[in-house]
């Protein structure tokens, strides 16, 4: 699933439900968050899950305005994919 997460999230954005299985046994359901109309309610839900130890929230905000650098050779994404094989 981790290799196709973007694909599954796109399905969910189109109102599909995705059942996550572990060796054929259903363990989770990913479904659209249509009920969360107010973003602050979603943040509060995440905070509650964090307080209960169910999820871990990021400790830092994502970096913004970081300059890209040009590196010679094959793209790092290709290197990662080759490493996964």
Residue spans of the domains in the chain: they are 1-57
Q: What pLDDT, on the 0 to 100 scale, is given for residue 16?
A: 93
Closest CA to 42 of 57, 53, 27: 57
Residue 19 has pLDDT above 80, yes or no: yes
Q: What pLDDT, on the 0 to 100 scale, is given for residue 7?
A: 93
Which residues on neighbouring strands pair with residue 26, listed in sequence order?
21
Q: What pLDDT, on the 0 to 100 scale, is given for residue 35?
A: 64
- pLDDT tens digit string along 30-74? 988 876 666 667 788 888 889 998 888 888 776 777 777 777 888
């Amino acid at each position: 699933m981790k290799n196709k997460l973007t694909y599954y999230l796109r399905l969910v954005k189109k109102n599909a439900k995705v059942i996550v299985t572990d060796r054929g046994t259903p363990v989770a359901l990913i479904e659209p968050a249509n009920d969360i109309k107010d973003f602050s309610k979603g943040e509060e839900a995440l905070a509650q899950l964090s307080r209960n130890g169910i999820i871990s929230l990021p400790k830092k905000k994502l970096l913004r305005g970081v300059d890209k650098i040009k590196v010679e050779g094959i793209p790092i994404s290709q290197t990662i994919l080759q490493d996964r094989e």
